[in-house]
Structure formats: C-alpha cells, structure tokens
Structure 1
Amino acid sequence: MLDSPLIKRYSDLYQPVRFMHSKHANVLQDCTICHHRQPREEGDQYGDPITMEILRERKQPPVGCGSCHDQPFKQLHVPGLKGAYHQLCMDCHKESEQVPHFLGPVVYSAMVRGPIARTLDTRAPTDCLACHAKKVPDHNELVKIEKGADALAVTKSCLSCHEKEGTDILQTSHWNWHGPSPFTVGHEKRTDLGKNRLIINNYCINVNGNWPVCTSCHIGYGWKDKGFDFTDKSKIDCLVCHDTTGTYKKAPEGAGFPDKRVDLIKVAKNVGRPSRATCGNNCHFVAGWGESVKRGDMESGMVKGSGKNDIHMGVTEGGLDFKCQDCHKTRNHLISGRSISVPAAEGDLSCEYCHTDAPHLGKRNPMVNHLNRHTKHVACQTCHVPIYAKEKPTTIYWDWSTAGKDLKEERGKDGMSTYDKEKGSLQLKQSAKPAYLWYNGTMQRHLLGDRINGNSPTELVKPMGGIGDVASRIYPFKLNRGKQISDALYEYLIVPQLWKGFWKHGDWQKAAKQGMEHAGLPYSGQFKFVTTVMYWGLTHEVVPKEQALSCGQCHPSLTQAPYCGKCHQSRPGVDFETLAKKGMDFQVLAKEGKDVSSLIGKTDYVDFKALGYKGDPIETGGRFTVLPFGTEVKRFAGR
C-alpha cells in the first residue's frame, strides 16, 4: 500500500528526509534492527533473519535495503524501498513514543523480525511534519496583486491564505524581539527580556531611540518608535524570509520596509522555504552594521561556501549543504536554538541531537573511547571550531569614546574600517582563536539599568559554569571588548541616540539625554566611558573531522615520545605519534592566506590552568578523576 499512487501523491507535498545513519547506528547499537534479513543466495529478496552475532561470526556487513526492497511486492510481503522505509520508521517511532523515558527502554514488537526482541531507549517523532518539510507550491498563479502594490498589500495577499501562520508569527521572538528566558540566571521565568528594550551590547548598544535603523532587520514593517503595534498582522514581512530570487532587501533606515527598487510582485510570486541566503544576507550575516561584525562564525560565504569552512552548510569540498532549519527545527514559526547574546529561547539545540553524546564511532579504534570520554567535559565545538571568522574578519574591540573626533579614517587590508567618525575605533581579527570557558548552558546577563562594575570591566553577557560543576563543559567563545558611554553619577550604562542624534550632531551630551528619555531612565547630565566585555557562542564554521584540533595541540604531554605509549602498550599497526598529531594543520591555512601564523606549532591551545586545572589533565589529573587509572576522586566538589 505504501507504494500506491495514493502514497506517492504525498511526495508532491513533502520534501525528502535527510536520514542520519550514524545517529541511528549510534543510538541503536544494532545494525540488524533495520537491516533485519540477509539474502540466502544471489537474487534472493526475502532472506533469513539476521543478528549482529551472526554477522560478526560470518564477518559480513549488513546488506543494503535495496537488495530486497528494490520493487514493491516483487515477492509477497516484501514492500518496495519507500514502503519499507516508512513501515520501519513509523513502527519504530510510534513504539518509542508510547512509554515515557523514565519508565525505561521500550520494547517495540514491530521490529522483532528475527529471533530476538530489541529495545529502543529514545523517543522519536511520529508525524509526517516532524521529519518531512512541506513543499512550497508554485505561487505564480496563486498571487493576485495589482501592479505597483506596496509591501503591506503583499502581506494582505499572503494572509488571505495564511492567516494562521500570521497569528503564529505574532507569538515568536523574531517578531517581538523578546521571549522566554529560561537560561538567564535570576530571570528564568521572565518573558519580557530581549533586544527590543532591556538588553544592551557593546556594538550598536540598544534599540531605544534608534528604531528605524535597528529595525531594518525586523521581520515587520514600520517599527519606527515605541508605539509599534505588535498585534497587527498586516505589518508582518513575509518576503524577508521566503524570498527565493535573491533580490529582496530592506531599506537601511526604513524601519523594516523594503528598498524601493525591489520588485515586490516578482518576489511574492517566487516565495519558498527560507534559505541560508534569506536568514543570513538579510539579517544574521550582517548584524551590527556590517558583515561578520557581531557574530564571528557566520558570513555571506556560507551561502555557496566550502565544506572546509563549514562542513554542514558548505556546498563544495564535502559540504552537506544544510539549510538553517535542518538544525534549527521550526514549528508554528517558533525556531529552536538560542543565542548567548540575547535571552529569548524557543527550544534548545545541541550537536548531540544529531551526533549523540558518544559521537565517535568504531569500537576497535583506540581513539574512540578517549574521544567519547571527552564529551563529558569538552563541548564538540571546542575541537571542531578551532578558529572562527575564517573568511571575513570580525570585530573584537569597539571603542565608542573616539567617535566624533577628527581622526584619520582608516581601513584594514580587508577594506573594513578600523576608525570611523560615526562609530569610533575598531579592532578586527580574521581566523581568530576562541576564548575557552566552562559553560553549563546558562548565562548571567547585564540589563539596562543594572549597576556597572566599578573600575573593572562590566560583563554584559557571561557564560556560567565552573570546573566543579558536573553540568559544565569547556566551550569556545568569541570575546568582544568595548568602551561605551555610561552615567558617571548613576553608574549605569547609557543608551545614546545615534540615529538622528549623535551621528547628526556629534554631541555625546545631547545623544545621552535623548537616548535615556527614550529608554525611560534618568540621566544625571554627567557621562564617562567604561570598559565592557561580551561573550558570543561559536557553533557554526564547523570544520571536517580531519581538521579538528589534534590531541597534541591541547595536551603538551602528547607532543613527544612515547606519546600515547605513556599509558598504552604498543600494538601492531597503531602509530601513537600519528594519532596524537592528526588534526588541524595551521601551516596549510597560513599558505592559504589565513592569519594563523601565531598558532603554528602551538601545543597549549587550551589554557588548562586558566580553567582551574593544575596543568595538563593527562599529567595532573582530570577534574573528577585522576588519570591514567580512573580512580574516582571528588577533586572539585563543592567549589
């Protein structure tokens, strides 16, 4: 039945699934749950039941699905390939949903194809949309808009069919610029935190008083002041996310309205699913008034980039060509994933969702056990994002105190400003080495009106965690330092009005007074510039596994003989030196023009002492365990 015309019709409605074979193999630990039969002879399409024990005994790999399921019901009870996939997937997923996790493993009878019963220890999605994205129909005939129609008329046309989607949008943090903040320490139950009012950074500082320029990144039209109506669906900008022509652009100071040169009817007739280009070029790649300014791990090269730059989103050189939503799963326009820089979260996301917490495969590989033990203490990104801002330099220091001065405007070798009269002095870095901190998934966040930190730098966003916190792991971060205006008497940061304020008259006194009136906070009339720091998570620009950090780049104890032989006996065919040194080659990157000369030959890539260790954990012991014998010691309990 699953290969009938009725079922095939659904292929016109849904896109194919990107099947994660390694995840299923890792979770199930039994290939024969899916590859459940083995042909008895050439041409046999029914076969005998098979188990892992039999495969190991015969030293045979499991056969591919198409060996038996090439055509529907060529033999009785043998569905075709599509039918076999759906029967197997749906049976397994439905059974996995029937019993909550805490009741233990699920025994699912649908998978008992041989002499043994198997168990599944994880829950799985059960409806079509959980795996399959809907296809977007051709809108050329569906869109009926008069020539010369404006952006609001386009939205009205969209809502005539998609009213529910419009209602959904009004509940999202992309629309409201605030939302639930369960990971912000001390504010876990608040829903009003976001960059629309209370969040402050050391880039463009804050939206108050600067709406038309800041909200040119908003997914709506007309947010020009604090009176914007967030309940008005007619102001939603559908095209900014769903354009497929590559021609849609927002006006730089247009409060979210599109550039007047955009052919809105052409764009409306060619809408589709969001892409890296719409998410990135219209917003995330250019946040902070320039490409790669804020985020150090995203830039326009990812639209058609190389797998060497990002293995997930790369198009060439082994890249998997992921769309953003392949990871950031979306339901009712709520998008999973979260940024450290802003508090709103609509669903958590981690590498483990696909790769599991034991991502390294191969039981006979001597490295696998060690690497999988690392995942309890070291985040995937620490090894797999060894540098960031690989293509475009990113800002690592922004000094607003020099803005407005008649200094010589300068640009770096990449053409980006290092001094701009409107914005001040900037330091940029390409191919930058991350800062490493313990992080347990929660943040301490400085809010507008909070007291600054005296003579020490004020931390606007600080990852929480520590060496004694079992929930913490070592993560990489981009660290941006800044110098920004504060109230000298009230001791809190000031929101200056930049747009039609400082950028017009160059007077910090006026800009402070204007901005704080919009922010609803008193201004004493006295200001000073203070130092701030802000951390940004690094999750994109994941390199291929062959370019991840080597063991020897972090552990100095593994850089000389006998390498791994200090703990392990020699074995035929295993070269400990090669194992210890296999990984990112900064000499190759330097030849490609990357600014990594200072990293060549580095063997203390992670500063273990700064993280609270006495030294290299291989020599001085782990945070809970003394190596190499595995004796449990509560070394940092209670810290």
Structure 2
Amino acid sequence: MKKIIFALSFISIQAYIYAFVDNSNPTNCKECHTCDKPSTQALCLHPCPRHETTNSNKHNLSEGPGIVFFKDIAEHFTPVKFDHRAHADMSSLGVEKCNFCHHFTPPGKIQPCRDCHTKNSEDLKRPGLKGAYHRQCLGCHREWSHDNKCFSCHENTDKKTPVDPSDKSDIIANAHPKIQSPQTLVYKTPYRKAPIVTFHHGQHIKSFGLQCVNCHEKFTCGNCHDSDPNKKKKRTMQQVHQSCDKCHRADNCSKCHSLKEMAPFNHADKGWKLNYPHSKLACKECHKTPEEKPKKECKFCHKTEWTRQNFNHNSTGLKIDAAHSMFECSYCHSENNTFKVFCNKCHFDGRDPKKKPVGEYLTL
C-alpha cells in the first residue's frame, strides 16, 4: 500500500512539473530555465511561464490596489499584505510592463486573480490562487535572493502580533542586507586607443563623502537583481557616462581611459602632499567644485580664522620671537607640513636659542 501511495505521489509531482511545458513537443530546457545547466542551487527559472492566450491591455497603476491582502489562503501562517504599488514602483517594470506579472489584463475593470485561479482547481496548467501566488513570487525572489524561507513573508499563526503593511525600504518583509561596496572596479571598454577604465570606487566615497544615491539615482531592484542574469544589457554611450559626467564632463577621455590598470590618485603628484591635518579633510573642503584648483598658499584658505594676527603659535610649544616673525609660515613649514620643525633645518651650524644667540656669526 505504501508503495502505491509513493508511486501516486511521484506521478503527481511529475505531472505538476511538466504542467508548465508544452507536452506536444520534446521538452526544451530553455522553456523554463534561463541557463544551460540549472541545478537545485541555481534553478535559473524564467518568470512564470504562460501557455494560454494572454489579453494584454494598457492599464494605469492608479487603477490597481495599493496593498493586496491575501487572507483566504492562510493555513499555518498569518495573512500576507502584499505592497502592490511598492513593487510596481521599485521593480523598474513600469506601467507599460504590467503583464510581466499580470498575464490577463482585459479592457475595463481589472479582474481579480481568483476568478481564474480557483481554490480547488483541477487544471494543472491553471494552478489555484495559492499555487499561482507563490509561483509568481518565487519566480523573481528565488533568482534574486536565492533564499525563500516562509517567514520572509509570513508569520506563524500562533503569534498574536499583527501583520504590518510592507514598507518601501523593506519590500520583501526583511531588511535588505548591507551592501558591501567594491573598492576598485576595472572595466574593459570597446575604446581601442585606451580600453581600460579603472574606477577607484572606495576612494571616491571616502574623499568626497558620497552616499549611494549621489551617483546611483533612480535605481530600482531591477538594476541589481535581474530575473535573467544571462541576458546582456546594451547601454548607450550617454548611459555609460551618465554618472561620471556630473563631475568629469570637462575632462578628456585619457582622464579615465588608459592601456592598463591605473593606481589610485596620489595628491603629491600634483605638487601638494597631503599631510596632517589636510589628509583628514574631504576633497570638497578645498575643491568647492571638482574643477576648482585652489592656490597652494596657506592664506588662500586660512583668510580670517587662522592668520598671523589671531593664531597663537605659543600653543604649539614654540614662541615666535622678533627674529622669526618676519617669515611667512611656508618658510619653515615647506610642503604644507604642519608637524614640528627642528631648528637645524635652518640653523645647520648649531645655533639655537638654548646654546647660541640669534645673529650673524664670524669665525676667526
């Protein structure tokens, strides 16, 4: 008896799997999978396959609900509040591509899914609402996150806490894991004269105090999570340079393009070695715009808050007497070095206030 039950179960599973495939022809893996070698770890599934004639008419997003409340399919878990509008806004699908999820969109009033996906459907090619809903969600979230635990969307029925509506910052009911930003990205471009572009991502963030949204504007889930990762995306020249052009519009191609990978920017190569405290400053403290090239003299930046008249040099441990007050700061602090300057840098013959008085010396 157990063998018969097992056999029937196996047949049912097989029937469910092949229900999505056109049985009139030999099975083609590409009908369901986007990669050549799918596995249990990487299923590479297409979005929910459709084998029935679709009715695709344009609808406005405002016609649909903001939140869909799935309560009749709950068994072991509490109901699910699905933020329909947030998914549409953040998935980069847009109103024109509603049929990515909605394969039946006749004109007029939007039909509820349950009209076709009945609870006890016997048609394996038209699963019940519970099966259709889960297959729809898993079609994207399995490919994107590879983690589809039930509690990502559900709470156990024994919990008395209410189900909160979805939040746009928490679109799949779990907080997005922290994104580890790369330090350096190297691109190989079709520009033959200088095909290599080295982008020091980490240095840009640190030097300019940037947040992700400063460069990655209007990004959506679909920019990083592609339901078909094997599909090559073609971008125009304008799209490729869009983020960089904000600061580098006036630069020549050679500013970024080279024949080999480039080392990080070294400020000393420009004649100004960044010592303390300047090394702690963000670039924008001196460069109000990326194109601005400030002068190297201290007084160019330290106009009123740090002048000879109001800066007390005694606080450094060295009193500026009459003999030294005639000199500019840079006379002792060359290369913008604010560290301690030793007397023998100038008084190489051994003169200093503790041993010999200041003045001209005559050797007899």
**TM-score, L = length of structure 2:** 0.26
Higher Rg of the two aligned structures: 2
Query: TM-score normalized by structure 1?
Result: 0.16
Higher relative CO (Cα under 8 Å, sequence separation at least 6) belongs to 2
